[in-house]
Structures are given as C-alpha cells and as structure tokens.
C-alpha cells in the first residue's frame, strides 16, 4: 500500500475505496501479504476470474473471493462499504453510532450496527481473519461470590439456578494457533452456533461437547 495515495480523510476514504480495484488490492494485501493462497487447501496455484473477481484453485478446483476466511465472508456488503466503515471506526476517537455510520455509508441503521459490531470484534482480536482448521469450542459461567450478590440473586442460586448472577463466556481455541474468548448473552445452542459462524472459517472442524468433529459448512 502506497502511503502517499492512502486516504487521510473520510471523503478521501469513501472515494478511494469506491474504486473496486483499490478495494480488492487492499483486501489482498492485508489478507495475503505473502501471496494469495486457497482458503480450502492452502495451494498457491490458482487463476483469477476477472469478470467475477474471484480465484479458482488449480489444486482443489474450488473458487474463493478475497472475503473468504474473514469477518466479511458471510456478508453481501461490498468492500467499498466495509473499508470506509473501518476507517471511520478506527479514526473517530470519540466513537461513532450505528445511525451516524449508516448515514455516511448510505446503509440502514441495522446494517451499520452489524458492520460496527464485526469491526470492533476484529479490533479486539487484532485481525480480520477467522479461526480455521481444528477449532475447539466451550462455554462456562463466570461470576462473583454469593455474598457479594443482591439478595434475590442469592436466593435463586440456592434454588439451584447456578447460572443466575454469572456471565456466560465462550472460548474458541484454534489448535496450534489463536485463542479467543467472548461474553455471550446465553449459553444456548442458537447463540453458540452464531458465535461459531462469526469466528470460524467455513470448512473448519469444530469440536465441542455436543458437536464433536462437526465441519462448519
């Protein structure tokens, strides 16, 4: 990336990333700094289909885009929207609301909230990439001692509701790789599956108490 041409203002970022080639080239540089590789088999032998802006692996014959294996993967939103959003969230020190973000990008508040949430998660982990390969998933409850709780919470704990007053935390471990942990609202199947979808790349094997050896589609 040429620092002289990289946008330094919001207007500059919007104009710069509106160019599809600029967006694609920037994504390639941060996703594959050492060269494009297939997210399915890690082969570096591929061909680029310019009409669809995707690559076709010569080894496994599968096609993939620059979004593959990143937080952008499951989203129909274009990189021309994602990168200005990243620019705003990173550079606005006082933060930016989903309403304001949506207004600048020309998207709905709901879409802007989704983008804001994913980008901030990426900022916490320090990467746009998802976990891959063999990933272990587990959840637990973390909370304080009963004597520090409000009276009604202590009573519910005594009645056997062990999760009451505690926070549900989900951990994801990429074998021989990264570890991630996040607070979740509920430790139910739907919540856990959505968290796996957000954090784990397609084609990876997910291991948990109830889903041993599940392959993420």
Question: How does pLDDT run across 56-86, given as a tens digit for each residue?
Answer: 999 999 999 999 888 888 889 999 999 999 9
Closest CA to 180 of 216, 126, 133: 126
Task: Give the containing element (helix H, strand E) for 181.
Answer: strand 179-184
pTM assigned to the model: 0.62
State yes or no: pLDDT of 47 exceeds 90.
Answer: yes
Q: What is the DSSP letter of 131?
A: B
Q: pLDDT value at position 50? A: 92
CA distance 115 to 102: 9
d(CA 116, CA 35): 28
Any idea how long the chain is?
217
Q: For 132-189, how does the pLDDT look when each residue is reduced to its tens digit (9 = 90+)? A: 677 787 777 776 554 444 444 444 443 444 455 577 777 777 776 667 676 776 767 7
Share of the chain above pLDDT 70, in %: 76
**How many Cα neighbours within 13 Å face the side chain of 133?**
10
Q: In which band, very low, low, confident or very high, does the pLDDT at 10 lie, cut at 50, 70 and 90?
A: confident
Range in 7-11, 22-26, 65-69, 178-182 the model is least confident about: 178-182
Maximum CA extent, the chain: 65
CA 109 distance to own-chain centroid: 19
If we measure between CA atoms, which residue out of 109, 37, 23 comes closest to residue 72?
23
């Amino acid at each position: 990336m040429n620092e002289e041409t990289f946008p330094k203002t919001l207007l500059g970022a919007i104009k710069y990333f509106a160019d599809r080639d600029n967006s694609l080239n920037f994504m390639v540089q941060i996703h594959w700094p050492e060269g494009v590789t297939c997210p399915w088999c890690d082969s570096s032998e591929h061909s680029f289909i310019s009409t669809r802006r995707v690559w076709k692996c010569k080894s496994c014959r599968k096609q993939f885009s620059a979004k593959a294996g990143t937080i952008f993967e499951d989203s129909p939103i274009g990189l021309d929207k994602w990168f200005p959003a990243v620019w705003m969230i990173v550079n606005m020190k006082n933060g930016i609301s989903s309403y304001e973000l949506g207004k600048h990008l020309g998207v709905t508040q709901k879409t802007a909230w989704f983008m804001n949430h994913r980008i901030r998660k990426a900022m916490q982990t320090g990467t746009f990439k998802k976990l891959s390969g063999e990933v272990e998933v587990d959840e637990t409850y973390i909370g304080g001692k009963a004597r520090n709780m409000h009276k009604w919470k202590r009573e519910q704990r005594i009645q056997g509701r062990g999760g009451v007053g505690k926070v549900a935390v989900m951990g994801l471990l990429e074998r021989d790789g990264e570890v991630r942990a996040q607070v979740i609202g509920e430790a139910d199947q739907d919540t856990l599956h959505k968290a796996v979808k957000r954090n784990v790349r397609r084609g990876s094997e997910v291991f948990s108490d109830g889903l041993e050896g599940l392959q993420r589609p």
